[in-house]
Each structure stands twice: as structure tokens, then as C-alpha cells.
A and B are shown apart, each in its own frame.
Chain A
Amino acid sequence: DTGVSQNPRHKITKRGQNVTFRCDPISEHNRLYWYRQTLGQGPEFLTYFQNEAQLEKSRLLSDRFSAERPKGSFSTLEIQRTEQGDSAMYLCASSHVGFEQYFGPGTRLTVT
């Protein structure tokens, strides 16, 4: 198993554009999480899935954000009408229920 992977690793976009990120979890993990990290801060929880069900969304996840995990495998995080405040590192993690979370390398988003 190669661990959690995320694509793209870097994304530069203009304000107002839509972007989509992909996360491929460790294959046998049934939980998948999205976090966002800004410079000098720890990651903040955005949302998580158990299999294909999205069980919780943070208040940080405005209506412009949507996440999916079709068939309980990979997940996508889409941001519509990006704003400069969306610039951050977006991190994905996966785990078995109640066990250690393993993180991917992240997608760094820059909104110009």
C-alpha cells in the first residue's frame, strides 16, 4: 500500500474560478477526512466520510464547498467561485474507525 495520495499537489487559480481536488485513501480504510491548514496554524477539520456517507461538515465549509466520496473509495473536494481567503493547504486523511489517521501530502491552493 502506498499511503494516502492527493492530486494535484499545487493549484494556482484566479479568484472566481472553480477548483477540484482528489484524495485516494489507503484502500482498506473506511473513514476519510478533509482538513485545511493555513500558514502557522494547525489543520482545521472540514468534513469526513464513513464509506460513502458524509457524516459531518464543519461550519468552515461554506456553501461554496462540496465534497463527495462515491462508492466509498476516492473523494473529491470542490470549491466554487474561489476567494483569496481560500488559499491554504488542503489535507486529506484516512483511517479505520477509532484508529490512527494517516495524512496525504496535501494540495496547496493559491488564489490570485
Chain B
Amino acid sequence: KQEVTQIPAALSVPEGENLVLNCSFTDSAIYNLQWFRQDPGKGLTSLLLIQSSQREQTSGRLNASLDKSSGRSTLYIAASQPGDSATYLCAADDYKLSFGAGTTVTVRA
């Protein structure tokens, strides 16, 4: 059974600082690794999908890396803004998604 762990569970940074969110998974036989954002009481918004053959994926200020052999992915958010405050979830995709518990980010103005 796929187990996904996210560290840290919570993070508070001043505006402008770069964010580093870590995700580890136990079974490397995945198709994709997907990162999501979730605002309180809302559904999930897809941020980035990294296919298993890729090492990284970028979208604007977001960059995600994938090291499938070691079972790790990292999400980098550059120059954080208060609007980036949310919970970030990673999910390992072996046709169904297995999620971590998330990292709750607070960006202080």
C-alpha cells in the first residue's frame, strides 16, 4: 500500500521568502506525482503534474522536482505572497491518487 508523507506539517514565513515543501512516497511504481492546493473548506486545485519519466515541472513561480528512485518530490514556491497561504497536498498516482496529509502554509505580510 502506498504511503505518502509530507514534511513539515505547517510552515509560516514572511512575504518574499522562498518555500520548500517535501513529499516522500514508499512505492516508486507510480505513473505521475501531482501537487495540489486546497483552501479551507474548498476542493483541490491542481498545481503541477510530473510524469514518472520527468525530473521536474515548472509553472510560473512554482517548480516541482521528482526523484522516483528515492521516492521523493519537492515543491518550490519562489517569492511567496500572502495569497499563497493554503494547504499543499502531494499525491502519488498509480492510477488512483494516494495523498499525504498536507503542509499548511502561512505567508505573513
Query: How far is the CB of A68 from the nearest CB of chain B, in Å?
Result: 18
Tell me the complex Cα distance, A40–B4, Å.
15
Indicate which residue in A35, A41, A100 contacts B34 across the interface (CB closer than 8 Å). Answer: A100
Q: Is B91 an interface residue (CB 8 A)?
A: yes
- Give the contacts of A44-84 with B (CB-CB under 8 A): 44-45, 48, 56
Q: Report the 6 A-B pairs with minimum CB-CB distance, sorted nearest first.
A: A42-B99, A103-B44, A105-B43, A45-B96, A100-B49, A106-B43
CB distance from A4 to the nearest CB of B (A): 8
A selection of 7 A-B contacts at a CB cut-off of 8 Å is A42-B4, A42-B99, A43-B89, A44-B99, A48-B95, A91-B44, A106-B42
**A contact set with B: CB distance below 8 Å:** 33, 35, 40-45, 48, 56, 91, 93, 98-106, 108
B89: chain A residues within 8 A (beta carbon): 42-43
- A104–B38 Cα distance when bound, in Å, is 12
Contact A103 B43, beta carbon cutoff 8 Å: yes
Assess whether B46 is in contact with A42, with CB atoms less than 8 Å apart: no
A91 surroundings in chain B (CB, below 8 A): 43-44
> Is the pair A45, B43 in contact by a Cβ cutoff of 8 Å?
no
Q: Which residues of A contact B19 (CB under 8 A)?
A: none
Indicate if B97 sits at the interface (CB-CB under 8 A).
yes
Q: Is the CB of B34 within 8 A of A101?
A: yes
Q: Indicate whether B81 reaches chain A with its CB closer than 8 angstroms.
A: no
Query: Counting chain B CB atoms within 10 Å of each CB, which of A48, A91, A93, A101 scores highest?
Result: A101
By a CB distance below 8 angstroms, the chain B residues around A98 are 31-32, 95
Shortest B11–chain A CB gap in Å is 16
Assess the A100–B46 pair: CB atoms within 8 A.
Answer: yes
A25 to chain B, nearest CB (A): 13
Roughly how many angstroms separate A103 CA and B34 CA in the complex, as a whole number? Answer: 12
